[in-house]
Amino acid sequence: MGDGTQKPTSAQETWQAQAARLAMLSEVVLLIAKTPDLDRLLSGAINKLKWVVDFERCTLALVNSDSAAYKLRTLMETRRDFSKDPLESVPIEKGIPGTVIKSGRMRFFPDVTAADNKPPVSDDALEGGSIRSVLSLPLTAYNKVFGAITFGSTHKNAFTEDDVKVAQSFAVHLALAIDRWRQSQELEARNQDLAEALEQQTATGEVLRVISSSPTDVQPVLDAIAESSARLCEAVDAIIWLVDRDVLRPRAHYGPLAAPEGWTERPVNRNWVTGRAVVDCQTIHVDDCSTAEIEFPEGAAYAKQYGHRATLATPLLREGIAIGAILIRRMEIRPFTPKQIELLKIFADQAVIAIENVRLFQELETRNRDVTEALEQQTATGDVLRVISSSPTDVQPVFDRIAESAKQLCHGEFSGVFQFDGEFIHLVGHHGLTPEGAEAYRQEWPGPPGRNSAIGRAILSRGITHIPDVAADSEYSQRRLVQAVKFRSVIAVPMLRKGSPVGGITVLRSVAEPFPDKQIELLKTFAEQAVIAIENVRLFQELETRNRDVTASLEQQTATSEILRVISSSPTDVQPVFRTIAANVARLCDAFDVMVLRVEGDTLRLVAHHGPIPAGDVPLMRGTLGGRTVIDRQVIQVDDLQAETVEYPKGSAIAR
């Protein structure tokens, strides 16, 4: 059958040929069942078919997914001198396999050179070659043609009817084998996709868990993202960079590839992959960074130094602005797949979410802290005002409350309130001092203001004195006080009334650190409230004195008016006048007993008396209080008449 001439055969030869064909098909079926690898299956099956069917060329055509073309693959070609290599991808309208695929029917050309037997379409495989006979059969599975297998021979009429039948049976089994292989490949691909998707979901879920468990610290999140990026994108390492003004700083690194020396910060420019990703706000992918000297001069230099090749960087975008980037690298020229690029973008989004979460949480925490501090300060100042209003005549409760609030709200260990009388400073209130500390203060104060103390400087300068560390202040000489109270930093705010110091407030801490502006402003408020309290007490006392003076004056006027009324109503009798005078003197002078005496010769005659003490006439002599008053003609006051036995012997005796 190889020369195209049909020779008569005996029955035995026919039987032997059929037996050989059946044996070949059985072996092909067995081979298909045992061989999962398509290349080995095709090679083994074609070689077995060659035992019973004579051909020099065999090609396999498989339809592309878009059905507009097919891939042509040469399975056997015994003579390389009669045709050129086939196209890798051939349009469906071209070539004998395409005709078979479109029609779904076998095509057999005993002699392609014969005028009445030429193929209806051109076939590059036949041009310039010696192929004479062509047999092409469709490969069908589930009533769908997905390819064709084509046999060619240099002889005309090379394929007999039995050859065609054997080839048809072979095509059926081969189609089933290829379809099974394609299904297994699709299943394996789906399984791999599912495994990758599960791994990616697990990694992203882990990142989200770290985000939720670390709302105030972004570092654990960045570390987890760097590790997942390197592992799932099959990179040797991953670095997360964050923008800090005009430079990029590495915040997380995972992998054995060391970062270049001096990479504590890098400029934001387009000369290296990460810098360009940030500048352009887009993902940058370089297959071999070591050869990209023109595009990335700095990046290529580092790649040559450290040996990495494939490089991928994607920016961290917040509202369209790059705040950083993730960089992953490989040691070989192996570009990252589209899936890996998309996954890295997801990790970049998660990094932005984590950074934003921490930023927003910190802002919220700061606002809450500010609101809490403001509320505490308002409450404290309100309490001081309440104490001021409830204690108009006593400033001490105000000083005590200010000392307590100043210590608490300024986060001090101790506080003190002082008054200045123009010459000396007096400690009038404190909070938090130990008995030893209070005793040390009492030994220092009262005292004149000087630069050896914080409160002294504040009073002298009429301004705030802030000493972050008394140990480093050469002028601060109250070392005994420092040792007893054990403080390092101190602030003193003066109390000023019309620009003049009337006292001050101090807060002390055991650590050397400055006081923030908010606390200083709060102390100024307390100082103003203390001045208000001092002024309130002074004004209240002045008003009380004036009221008392007015009341006394009014009572005196009433008493004198009453005496004048008695005088006018008793022109012939002086006794009612004397009685009225005695009663008013007792009342207005808050006296226990009053005597009105009239000089008659050498005796002071009792003419009126008001009180429970027995009374009578008194000798006119210097030994009695009344006698000396008359003789000396002046007011005399004796604190204890009973004790004055020498000056007033008679009077002292009468008093006893």
Q: Could you read off the pLDDT of 58-98 as tens digits, one per residue?
A: 888 988 878 888 888 888 776 554 344 445 688 888 889 99
Of 209-213, 367-371, 380-384, the range with the highest mean pLDDT is: 367-371
Q: Is the per-residue pLDDT at 235 higher than 60?
A: yes
Domain boundaries, the chain: 11-186, 214-362, 391-541, 574-655
CA angle 568, 573, 579 (to 5 degrees): 85
CA of 114: how far to CAs of 3, 110, 196, in Å? Answer: 16, 9, 57
Helices (runs of H) and strands (runs of E) counted in the chain: 16, 20
pLDDT at 17: 65
pLDDT at 552: 73
**Mean predicted confidence (pLDDT) in 195-212:** 71
Identify the CATH number of the domain defined by range 214-362.
3.30.450.40
In this structure, what token pair is assigned to residue 301? 């230099």
Residue carrying the six token digits 């878009």: 66
Q: How far is CA 46 from the centre of its chain?
A: 68
pLDDT at 508: 92
What is the distance between the alpha carbons of residues 190 and 194, in angstroms, rounded to a whole number?
Answer: 6
What is the distance between the alpha carbons of residues 226 and 20, in angstroms, rounded to a whole number?
Answer: 64
Q: For residue range 242-267, list pLDDT tens digits in order.
A: 999 889 999 999 988 765 555 678 88
State the chain's mean pLDDT as an integer: 83
Question: pLDDT band at residue 2, thresholds of 50, 70 and 90?
Answer: very low
Cβ-count burial of 360 within 10 angstroms (0-12 exposed, 13-18 middle, 19+ buried)?
A: exposed
What is the distance between the alpha carbons of residues 469 and 472, in angstroms, rounded to a whole number?
Answer: 6
CATH 3.20.20.100 fits 11-186, yes or no: no
- 193 or 150, which is more confident: 150
Q: Is the per-residue pLDDT at 46 higher than 70?
A: yes
pLDDT at 482: 85
Question: pLDDT band at residue 598, thresholds of 50, 70 and 90?
Answer: confident
Q: For residue range 270-313, list pLDDT tens digits in order.
A: 999 999 999 999 999 999 999 999 999 999 998 998 889 999 99
From 3.40.50.720, 3.40.50.150, 3.30.450.40, 3.40.710.10, which CATH number describes the 391-541 domain?
A: 3.30.450.40
Task: Give the Cβ contact number of residue 369 at 10 Å.
Answer: 10
What is the distance between the alpha carbons of residues 9 and 581, in angstroms, rounded to a whole number?
Answer: 178
Q: Is 275 helix (H, G, I), strand (E, B) or coil?
A: helix
Fold of 574-655: Beta-Lactamase (3.30.450)
In this structure, what token pair is assigned to residue 438? 């209070």
Same fold: 11-186 with 391-541: yes
